[in-house]
A and B are shown apart, each in its own frame.
Chain A
């Protein structure tokens, strides 16, 4: 598949720039003896030259997630061609494909044997497949919750948004072009996704002249237990933030274990057996404008809202709540013990994890110890001197 764009063609034709030696362009520009012309960087509209910090509101993050998801087909095509500019980020994005398709395929396999000639078998298969599907959905939700129960406390109590997005500009070489221009694309990353290569530089303020350069770090420093007016909050904070990142990531992984067991444990309770019966039909009825046979009128808004409330209650809220109780009680002593263990492991694990993170990343005790030392022997002025 050739890569050409109309703009490019027109550009070349208009300005009559002839391509220089075709053979000069290879996959690797390190071939000795050949002088490479400096690649012409075509400005791609909409993408700035540099990486930039992005808004971190909920809707914004959703927007970036959707944009990331839309890049997956592009990355897959690149990968299947063996594009040498493929990188690790693209590969990691592609791993979302099996993560989200594996569960539904597994659920479908449980229904695969159903056929109309074995009605009882078909009913049983439908019931089992429905249960598995609910389990798959709760698995995904539980895995996301395991991350959320660490993200939110860290955000509130330490001021770090672990999912702070930024856009990274990637210049990808394109061999098809005759003069070798570098096409710019945008990748959506998170500032704190790496521990060794955290993008500290993006947190400095270079755009807004009214605020100090360290204002973001200053805000965070307060939550860590530092004084509000540190001279160099960034270098004081960096080791603390790094430790926060390490512990949060570790606890997010660790909490995934009891949370997904909790999700599946809930899904396997009988409370979900009555859910999602004629769900599609009920939804269609809520949105339909057909006149009812007994009243002669279509549903009123109020009736639709009531139906929606009932639908959500019967299919989501009530089964969820009842399954919790059923999991806790269990059907026998052993199953009750297992259920209680899973629920308690999730709850206590969350609390302990957050406690540990907050305790280990607090600057207060170090500072108070420091302060005691400094009060007796300040090395070059105490922190309170400005």
Chain B
């Protein structure tokens, strides 16, 4: 009987819910359908105990569950509060990924793009970390985890303390509770200790969750920013740089191999002149394998040149040809050679006799005999334009003025006809062009541009001044590292950041009062940093120049083999310029990085002795005629040299011969000997003390030889405005100042100004973040310390065992 009723009940329930929602499995999970009897199912809930790995695994599994819940709810319309609530986790992350993609699309550099995703990850890391950061001290002090999770019988995973009005205490065993109670300091001799401990845990959990929630708004962005910043500095930027350099090197390696093969073939060909003609074609084909020829452009060229080996172009077609090459190759570096070759075409003309004959016949109504006469070849067998014009003109004159009387009207008419004749000649002039040769010019120039751009790709990753290149990264890091090694105070850094003038004073004063130990440490650090940086750039430069040289040899050899000497010359000139420009850039970097080292050396050595040694016995204006004692002059010059080293050691000042430096010499140093001595003081070898500090003889050698080069360069500057200042003894070796601007490097003061501004921004940012984050953390720590205490809503009134109040 009972069975029947139960079956009817179950069947009715099934019918009722068979409508729109179908059967709802979750309602039946605890029932066994079809089984007789209603036995209560045993509970299957448990507290979650996971380590990092199983935590990560269940995290991944949770995403899978969320996806299933999403499908059930959005497409089928099935779910409950828990399953639909879980969808939010998944869609939140999907949305954030969408944001990262949208932001990365608008970033240009690979580091920028990568950082958007690092930012996404660090935001979620911050969101996950902060509750753990709050929970960890609570666990340590109070003995339980407020972020404890549990799984209920249905399989739902929830946070234990999320709803204080529903705490499934049966998941904690009694011993666990009592152990926590001991840590909490709940007195042992009270009635119902278990409930009291549970209430205390509840209080602490509510307090902890509230604190985590109200501080999360500040803590999450701060944590995320810090994580992202450190990740950018230590992970993303080095990784992107290493990847770009290594892939650029790999590309260059395979490129080198291919060009090497071509060069080998070229050499072999030059040593076997018998198979000459054959070799050229094969070499050309091999050359064209090195790059991809633009078929569309070639088609356009062939449309002008036709298919054959030769063509007679009209004036219009010749102009088309010139325009084609201008559009395509102007700016490639070889355009001048192409222009020369095209000009040669203009030299070889021929007349289209038939068409001209017809034209003249039509225009001037000449008879066949007259035309034959006009077009009779001259003594050398050719038909000259001038003779045609002369003969035609005389015929027309005879037509117009049969009686020989040339009135002004007739003269005008003759001039008109002259123009017509010239026009006809122009129209019928054909320019003979060797199509094959022009095609060769086109493909060679295309090849030259393409091969050079492959080397440029390597330059882009390494030594070009663009974002995320090796150079850019080094220029961002090295000045800051130098500044840090000098041991300046915050106040001094702020003075440096204010600008060049303040910077010079600050630096001078700091260098003056540096102790020998500080100086030693600073010199050692700076030289170590610059050694590493310079080595990397020089290595990249060497690599690049190696390939560039191969490109130069290959392209000019192929051009010469094809009898295009002009083009070969242009290729070589262009690549030489490229190499020199790049080399100068490296010199710029080396100069800028080594100058502060030399400047510090100037300040920490015994400059007075050096100066007096140099100036003793020499007959300079400043020493003999200033009216001051020698010692005072020496001191003045010491001060000037230091001044120069800090902020007057640039192209401008060497051009105007230090006219703003020496008070006693207001119009620039005119005595060559004195100038040379000053240069020796500024650019001379490092002192023995500095050498000992640096501990790296190779680096010392590098610095000294670089300074020697700079000395010669700066002394040789030619001042076009005041030529009497120039050194007459150098003659043709003196150089104009403009070309030196690229290699003179950054002045010491300016070098540090940028670094100081950078550091200042960084410091200010860290200060803000530290205040924000630190205050939050401190207040949180303070709050956590007071969790669990008695207060107005938790009076902690316990009744002792035995009934006493």
Contacts and interface: CB of A to CB of B under 8 A. Distances in A.
B214 A94 contact: yes
A115 B218 contact: no
A240 B202 CA distance: 39
B792 A91 contact: no
B791 interface: yes
B163 interface: yes
Of A22, A195, A356, chain B has the most CB atoms within 10 Å of the CB of: A195
The B contact surface, by secondary structure, is helix
B186 to A, nearest CB: 13
B634 interface: no
Would you list the 6 A-B pairs with minimal beta carbon distance, nearest first?
A79-B210, A261-B98, A101-B217, A82-B203, A250-B73, A98-B217
A356 B20 CA distance: 14
A27 B794 contact: yes
A78 interface: yes
A30 B191 CA distance: 12
B481 to A, nearest CB: 19
Nearest to B163: A88
Contacts of A356: 74-75
Interface string B405-425: 000000000000000000000
A95 B217 CA distance: 9
Given A105-B218, A249-B73, A342-B102, 11 more contacts: A82-B788, A84-B202, A84-B794, A85-B793, A97-B213, A196-B80, A250-B70, A256-B95, A257-B95, A258-B95, A339-B105
B206 A86 contact: yes
Of B79, B95, B213, chain A has the most CB atoms within 10 Å of the CB of: B95
B554 to A, nearest CB: 34
Nearest to A87: B165
Interface in A70-89: 76, 78-88
29 contacts: A23-B799, A31-B195, A76-B210, A78-B793, A80-B210, A81-B791, A82-B787, A82-B791, A84-B202, A86-B206, A88-B166, A94-B210, A94-B214, A98-B217, A114-B761, A139-B99, A175-B792, A175-B794, A239-B19, A246-B79, A249-B73, A250-B79, A261-B95, A264-B103, A265-B102, A268-B106, A339-B102, A360-B76, A366-B19
B77 A361 contact: yes
Interface string A243-255: 1001101110110
B78 A246 contact: yes
B793 to A, nearest CB: 4
Nearest to B783: A80
Contacts of B101: 261, 338
A73 to B, nearest CB: 10
Given A106-B221, A175-B793, A257-B98, A87 B192 contact: no
B757 A118 contact: yes
Nearest to A241: B20
Contacts of A258: 95, 98
Given A91-B213, A117-B498, A257-B94, A25 B797 contact: yes
A330 interface: yes
A152 B214 CA distance: 32
Interface residues of A, number: 88
Nearest to B94: A257
A275 interface: no
Interface stretch (B83-91, B252-260, B261-269, B735-743): B83-91
Contacts of A84: 164, 199, 202-203, 206, 793-794
A82 B91 contact: no
B500 interface: no
Given A2-B792, A109-B222, A254-B91, A79 B206 contact: yes
A229 interface: no
A1 B794 CA distance: 11
A89 to B, nearest CB: 9
B615 interface: no
Given A3-B792, A23-B805, A105-B222, A88 B162 contact: yes
B320 interface: no
A109 B225 contact: yes
Contacts of A201: none
A43 to B, nearest CB: 22
Interface stretch (B273-281, B509-517, B649-657, B765-773): B765-773
A342 B202 CA distance: 45
A85 B793 CA distance: 9
Given A240-B20, A251-B74, A28 B217 contact: no
Given A121-B761, A196-B81, A247 B210 contact: no
Interface in A355-376: 356, 360-361, 363, 366
B216 interface: yes
A10 B541 CA distance: 91
B53 interface: no
Interface string B462-499: 00000000000000000000000000000000100110
A262 B99 CA distance: 8
Contacts of A195: 79-81, 84
Contacts of B520: none
A122 to B, nearest CB: 9
A276 B598 CA distance: 49
A112 B221 contact: no
Contacts of A55: none
Interface in B42-75: 70, 73-75
B764 A98 contact: no
B226 to A, nearest CB: 10
B207 A81 contact: yes
Given A84-B164, A254-B87, A334-B105, A117 B760 contact: yes
A161 interface: no
A338 B102 contact: yes
Contacts of B92: 256
Contact of A264 (B99, B163, B758): B99
